[in-house]
Amino acid sequence: MRLTSFLLTVCLSSVAVSHALSLFGSDQQVLDDELAVPGDNPLFYCQSTDENILLIDYVDLTPNPPEAGKTLTIKAHGNFTESVEEGAYMLLQVKYGLITLIKQQADLCEQMSNVDEDCPLSGEKTITKDVDLPATVPPGKYTVTADVYTKDDQQIICLTATVHFGGK
């Protein structure tokens, strides 16, 4: 589940990390520029960030867009403006065209351990991660969304990206 691990890491660490990044291009001009996540990346916020607990300073991908078969380096910096406790969760969805490939809930704190962070999460975090991308990915249009909440259903962050993979 490379797409899943992508979403998890991105949201959690305000950062980003995953094999599915290989799918992402910069192909979402239809969305407002003000919803673009700062940094060298293909991510967008799902909606206004006014109520978000996690504020992202930047997410940088090298190379951007990621390339299949190459190592992707992800560096991100953000600020948890409130302490995020155990019980926080993420709703992950991956669509391939109109077809829902993945729709599931994941434990935020559990996933954060993959980037060497533990709950409670608070204050500034900088995360760097190298990911070896698979050499091949099925071609088509992918839409990935990760919606993250505290255990009391307060919005932490929501990120989305759409990519056409394998086309010209």
Ligand X SMILES: *[C@@H]1O[C@H](CO)[C@@H](O)[C@H](O)[C@H]1NC(C)=O
CB of residue 127 to ligand X, shortest distance in Å:
15
The beta strand positions in 3-154, using DSSP E, are 44-45, 54-62, 71-84, 89-96, 99-107, 121-132, 140-149
Taking the least distance from each CB to ligand X, the nearer of 79 and 150 is 79
Taking the C-alpha atoms of residue 5 and residue 129, their distance in angstroms, rounded to an integer, is: 13
Taking the C-alpha atoms of residue 144 and residue 158, their distance in angstroms, rounded to an integer, is: 11
CB of residue 79 to ligand X, shortest distance in Å:
4
Taking the least distance from each CB to ligand X, the nearer of 81 and 126 is 81
List 79, 114, 154, 155, residue binding ligand X (CB under 6 A): 79
In Å, how far are 75, 152, 167 from 21, measured between CA atoms? 13, 30, 16
Taking the least distance from each CB to ligand X, the nearer of 73 and 154 is 154
Q: What mask, x for binding ligand X by CB under 6 A, covers residues 108 to 147?
A: ----------------x-----------------------
CB of residue 54 to ligand X, shortest distance in Å:
10
Taking the least distance from each CB to ligand X, the nearer of 19 and 77 is 77
**Of 28, 81, 78, 29, nearest to 50 (Cα)?**
81
Taking the least distance from each CB to ligand X, the nearer of 73 and 79 is 79
Residue 51 contacts ligand X per CB under 6 A: no
At 38, phi and psi to the nearest 5? -60, 145
- 3-class DSSP state of 43: coil
Positions in the binding site for ligand X (CB under 6 A): 79, 81, 124
